[in-house]
Amino acid sequence: MSELMNNSASPRTTASRGRIRRENEARILEAAERVFAETGLAGATMSQIAQAAGLPKANLHYYFGTKEQLYQAVLTAILELWLDATDAMLPESDPALALAGYVRAKMRHSRTRPFASRVFANELLSGAPYLTDYLEIDLKQRVEAKSRIIAGWISEGRMAALDPRHLFFMIWAMTQTYADFAVQIRAVMNVESLDDDAWEEATGEVISFVLRGCGITPAASAP
């Protein structure tokens, strides 16, 4: 019998079993991201995540082991997303275009992946016990590299003199607040949710503010 070595009780092929596994893992990860975004690692329960994923609680343990391991899987996926945003900030870039593009990318991220942003925020609020290496190695080095480029632009007189590290702290804060504290923004703006126009307007406000804050006059519209 050709199925001799197949330890599965089902008649499915190896390929389809792999497909189901990937689909279930993806469903669980997506549900876990939403739940961890609301209450963080300590506050989230496996029951909530299972219900959000539409699967029995035992399946979560079968696929990911413990709650901590599931959380780390969610965090890892978010970090890959974070680091993928390889922003085009090169020494020869135009500061106005580079900074505007960076802010726009961050705002798009806040809109398309708000739960990822909130999981990250929760992790930082609780002291980042699972992100020490990322913060002290990866992020630190990236900021230092980008800061050298910005320092170059400053020394060339292309933008105002400021500490590039604080510029990053401020840009991250301004853009992520539209994901992390969306409930506050909706309350003050008196809307159920931000639509396309509202997001475009918010993005424009932040870009203009950042460029002026950097001492860069927004590109003149016409001569």
Partner DNA sequence: GTCTATATTTTGATAGAC
Partner DNA sequence: GTCTATCAAAATATAGAC
The residues binding DNA (CB under 7 A) are: 8-10, 17-18, 20-21, 24, 44-47, 55-59, 61-63, 65-68
130: Cα separation from own chain's centroid: 16
Lookup: tokens for 99: 């900074």
Rounded-to-integer distance, Cα 141 and Cα 197, Å = 36
CB of 96 to its own copies, least distance (A): 14
Q: Which of 26, 187, 191, 219 binds its own copies (CB under 8 A)?
A: 187
Contact 149, 81 (CB under 8 A): no
Out of its own copies, DNA, none, what residue 114 binds, judged by CB under 5 to 8 A for its kind, is none
Rounded-to-integer distance, Cα 175 and Cα 194, Å = 14
Sign of the torsion formed by the C-alpha atoms of 119, 123, 129 and 135 = positive
CB of 96 to DNA, least distance (A): 48
Between 37 and 53, whose beta carbon lies closer to its own copies? 37
* Helix, strand or coil, per DSSP, at residue 112: helix
Asked if 184 is part of the footprint of its own copies (rule: CB under 8 A), the reply reads yes
**Residue 179 CA neighbour count, 13 Å, CB half:** 24
Q: Which of residues 22-81 bind its own copies (CB under 8 A)?
A: 37-44
Q: Angle of helix 182-189 relative to helix 164-180, nearest 10 degrees?
A: 70
Between 46 and 81, whose beta carbon lies closer to DNA? 46
Q: Which of residues 95-124 bind its own copies (CB under 8 A)?
A: 118, 121-122, 124
Rounded-to-integer distance, Cα 152 and Cα 135, Å = 24
Site residues (vs its own copies, CB under 8 A): 37-44, 118, 121-122, 124-128, 132, 135-136, 139-140, 143, 160, 162-163, 165-170, 172-174, 176-178, 180-181, 183-185, 187-190, 201-202, 205-206, 208-210, 212-215
